[in-house]
Amino acid sequence: MVNKIEVDLNALTHNVAIIKKHIYPETKIIGVVKANAYGHGLVETARVIWTSGVDILATATLEEAIALRVSRIKAPILVLGYVEPSEFWKAIDFDITLTIFDFESAYKLAREAKKQNRWARIDVAVDTGMNRYGFPTYEVLDIFQKIYKLEHLKIEGIHSHFADPEDKEFSRNQIKQMQNVLFSFQQMKIPIPMVHMAATKAIFLHPEAQFDAVRPGIGLYGYSGIEGNSELKPALELKSQIVALRRVGKDETVGYQRTYVAKGPRKIAVIPLGYADGYPRALSNKASVLVNGTRAKIAGIVSMNAIMVDVTGIKCSLNDEVVLIGGQGNGMVNADELAKLAQSNVCEILSRLPREIPREYHFK
């Protein structure tokens, strides 16, 4: 195989330990493995994260959750995204907790559970400023009272999501809104289920928002998104090979639209991986890869299934390993570097890596 992804399972275990270090001993960890575990591979990654001390696994879709169950992962599983009511029976059958953000869905789920003579598990989403999923805070008390009256529903949790944890004032307001909701529950003597709000950044920036559980995603994979935080270890490396070498003369061009013009005689290596393989076209003429431990800059526009890199002055041959994300020798190219160059974020860089690229798992 020319293109491959290597995942360091020890790094995943290390990252769980670091997150545990930053939370209270009684605080649970909900490990987010959505989007194919941020490109790392759903089942293999989820299994290691769970056995490393994560209490609950979270996915974006019911399909991901069922894939974990089929793979005999017995951890509690929460689906954070939307699920079609026609699929509710599957969630009940596989004992999967669903996020609820409208009463009609809660009613339909309760009806399906009653039909099966089973209990359905739910986690209620509260909108404190993200304006995505969740009940408005002024509706939550009334909604909870209605949901508690439905038969065959068990409320496992209540959660919200930060819009921008680095915006301290806005985040404090979100925390206050959540606290007000919980206070209203206490006043009405409504049982409060597991409360969770903080994802990776908020774990480090807002310890007061840990509540009963935290919900790290990208932090599990080695990135905090916080400048200067180096405790976490990136777990994924993306690798390929040199499959062709070209000699290019002065003023010759490379790639589509001829955006790279050689300033002198250059040696160009061709790598069989492009934007269809998850390597952003926005990195054209910007990013670097590692060839024998040395940085080599992309020459020209990233093609669908190939990139060209300038390896002038680098000793290299056909079939030599190329590292697009990860380390080689003394060199390092991390996903956060690529994210900045692509004006994106690490989550997008990693989660867009397609399932078709083979994954190899190692305890390094």
Among 55-59, 224-228, 240-244, name the one with the lowest average pLDDT. Answer: 224-228
At residue 114, does pLDDT exceed 80? yes
Domains and CATH numbers, the chain: 9-220 (3.20.20.10), 236-333 (2.40.37.10)
Alpha helices in the chain (DSSP H): 9-21, 34-38, 42-51, 62-70, 88-93, 103-116, 137-148, 168-187, 200-205, 335-341, 346-351
- Report the 10 Å Cβ neighbour count for 121: 20
Instruction: State the pLDDT confidence band at 226, using cuts at 50, 70 and 90.
Output: confident
At residue 355, does pLDDT exceed 80? yes
Instruction: State the pLDDT confidence band at 299, using cuts at 50, 70 and 90.
Output: very high
Give the model's pLDDT for residue 225: 84
User: What is the distance between the alpha carbons of residues 161 and 269, in angstroms, rounded to a whole number?
Assistant: 44
- SS3 sequence of 126-148: EECCCCCCCEEHHHHHHHHHHHH
Active-site residue, from 34, 201, 260, 275: 34
Give the model's pLDDT for residue 65: 98
Give the model's pLDDT for residue 67: 98
3-state SS class at 196: strand
At residue 229, does pLDDT exceed 80? no
Condensed to tens digits (0 to 9), the pLDDT of residues 53-105 reads 999 999 999 999 999 999 999 999 999 999 999 999 999 999 999 999 999 99
- Phi-psi group of 278: left, alpha or beta (phi > 0 → left; psi -120 to 50 → alpha; rest → beta): left
> Which residue has 């559980």 as its token pair?
213
Give the model's pLDDT for residue 175: 98
At residue 1, does pLDDT exceed 80? no
User: Is 107 a catalytic site residue?
Assistant: no
Alpha carbon separation from 300 to 1, 202, 250, 258 (Å, rounded): 25, 39, 15, 7
At residue 230, does pLDDT exceed 90? no
Taking every pair of Cα atoms in the chain, the longest distance, rounded to a whole number of angstroms, is 79
User: What is the distance between the alpha carbons of residues 74 and 181, in angstroms, rounded to a whole number?
Assistant: 32
Torsion of CA 79, 175, 346, 359, to 10 degrees: -30
Asked if residue 285 lies in contact with residue 262, where contact means CB atoms within 8 angstroms, the answer is no
At residue 130, does pLDDT exceed 90? yes
How many whole angstroms from its chain centre is CA 50? 16
Instruction: State the pLDDT confidence band at 228, using cuts at 50, 70 and 90.
Output: confident
Instruction: Compute the mean pLDDT over every residue in the chain, rounded to the nearest whole number.
Output: 97
Q: What's the average model confidence in pLDDT over 303-315?
A: 98
Q: What's the average model confidence in pLDDT over 244-265?
A: 97
Strand partners, 288: 297
Instruction: State the pLDDT confidence band at 29, using cuts at 50, 70 and 90.
Output: very high
Give the model's pLDDT for residue 157: 98
Query: What percent of the chain has a predicted confidence (pLDDT) above 70?
Result: 100
Q: What does the DSSP assignment read for 12-38? A: HHHHHHHHHHTS-TT-EEEEE-HHHHH
Q: What's the average model confidence in pLDDT over 338-364?
A: 96
Condensed to tens digits (0 to 9), the pLDDT of residues 134-166 reads 999 999 999 999 999 999 999 999 999 999 999
Active-site residue, from 82, 107, 256, 361: 256
User: Is 34 a catalytic site residue?
Assistant: yes
